[in-house]
């Protein structure tokens, strides 16, 4: 029987493995285990690195665990955020948080590409287009600058990439020496995750994101990746269209809840 919230077109074991890979790829130095819940409290921009991931049922009552989590976030000077997925345990947690009035926000899709065999050869690029690898901390500063993120978030992003338990590979795309897009991927076994794909606002609508993603998927395929995943906000229709053109479809969704509406 298919688990509720999972796309039945995919093996549930693959989607569960993707969830684990996504947690590994977003692991910050600032995290601890609290009675079966993975509590992350990085000051960076990525909510995956500053939220509660309820990955085991635990022993303590939910109320006690939430109080303990709130204390961790309070000490870190951050609002408490709880991430809710089809794998969340206990599976009543979302309803409990809703009943307590916690605000729901950022409906997010985990999109999946089940077979990378079509990306076995490099795609052709125009003569004035160049894609090259860059260092991870330099990438964090660059993509943060494009997004307008404060320096503290850029530095936290770079720290997370530097200490990641899985290897990241970052790339920039230039046209006539002008940066038009950037992105990176994380490989764990046969899985590759695309992260931080960003096109400069003035360069959007020219197919640069598709070309960059094709390049990254091909690079990952040569390193042994067979399946790909990514995470994108549900209402980011432009990005979702790009990924659909590459063959990605929704595997499952997740969202966040917080007692502090300003955290959204």
The Cα–Cα gap between 111 and 248 comes to 6
pLDDT of residue 44: 82
Classified by CATH at the fold level, domain 117-253 comes out as Aminopeptidase (3.40.630)
CA distances from 71 to 6, 79, 89, 256 (A): 33, 10, 21, 18
- Percent of the chain's residues with pLDDT above 90: 88
**Helix or strand or coil: residue 154?**
helix
**84 confidence band (pLDDT: 50, 70, 90):** very high
Average pLDDT over all residues of the chain? 95
pLDDT of residue 125: 87
Which of 18, 24, 40 is CA-nearest to residue 168? 24
pLDDT of residue 7: 98
- pTM, two decimals, is 0.94
- Percent of the chain's residues with pLDDT above 70: 99
Task: Provide mean pLDDT across the span 200-207.
Answer: 93
Q: What does the radius of gyration of the chain's CA atoms come to, in whole angstroms?
A: 19
Domain boundaries, the chain: 12-107+254-263, 117-253
pLDDT of residue 94: 98
| Residue 173 bridge partners (DSSP) | 131, 181
**176 confidence band (pLDDT: 50, 70, 90):** very high
DSSP notation for 157-212 = HHHHHHT-SS-EEEEEEEETTEEEEEEEEEEETTEEEEEEEEE-GGGTTSSHHHHH
Query: What tens digit of pLDDT does each residue of 28-81 get?
Result: 999 999 999 999 999 888 899 999 999 999 999 999 999 999 999 999 999 999
The Cα–Cα gap between 72 and 114 comes to 38
pLDDT of residue 2: 64
Per the CB < 8 A criterion, the answer to whether 256 and 81 are in contact is yes
pLDDT of residue 1 exceeding 60: no
Q: For the chain, what percentages of helix, strand and coil (3-state, to nearest 5) are there? A: 35, 30, 35
**Residue appearing with tokens 């230039």:** 174
Task: Provide mean pLDDT across the span 1-18.
Answer: 92
pLDDT of residue 26 exceeding 80: yes
Query: What tens digit of pLDDT does each residue of 135-167 get?
Result: 999 999 999 998 999 999 999 899 889 989 999
């Amino acid at each position: 029987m298919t688990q509720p919230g999972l796309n039945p077109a995919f093996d549930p074991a693959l989607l569960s493995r993707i969830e684990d890979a996504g947690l590994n790829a977003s692991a910050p130095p600032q995290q601890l285990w609290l009675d079966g819940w993975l509590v992350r409290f990085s000051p960076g921009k990525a909510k995956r690195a500053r939220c509660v991931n309820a990955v085991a049922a635990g022993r303590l009552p939910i109320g006690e665990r939430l109080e303990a989590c709130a204390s961790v976030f309070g000490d870190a000077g951050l609002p408490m955020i709880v991430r809710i997925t089809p794998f969340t345990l206990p599976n009543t947690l979302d309803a409990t948080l809703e009943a307590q009035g916690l605000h729901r926000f950022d409906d997010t899709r985990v999109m999946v590409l089940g077979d990378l065999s079509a990306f076995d050869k490099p795609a052709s690029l125009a003569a004035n287009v160049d894609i090259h690898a860059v260092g991870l901390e330099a990438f964090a500063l660059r993509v943060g600058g494009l997004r307008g993120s404060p320096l503290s978030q850029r530095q936290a992003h770079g720290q997370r990439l530097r200490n990641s338990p899985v290897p990241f590979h970052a790339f920039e795309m230039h046209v006539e020496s002008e940066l038009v897009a950037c992105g990176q991927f994380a490989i764990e076994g046969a899985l590759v995750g695309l992260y931080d794909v960003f096109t400069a606002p003035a360069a959007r609508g020219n197919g640069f994101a598709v070309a960059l993603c094709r390049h990254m998927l091909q690079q990952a395929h040569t390193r042994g990746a067979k399946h790909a995943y990514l995470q994108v906000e549900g209402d980011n229709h432009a990005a979702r269209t790009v990924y659909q053109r590459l063959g990605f479809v929704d595997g499952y969704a997740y969202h966040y809840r917080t007692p502090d509406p300003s955290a959204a």
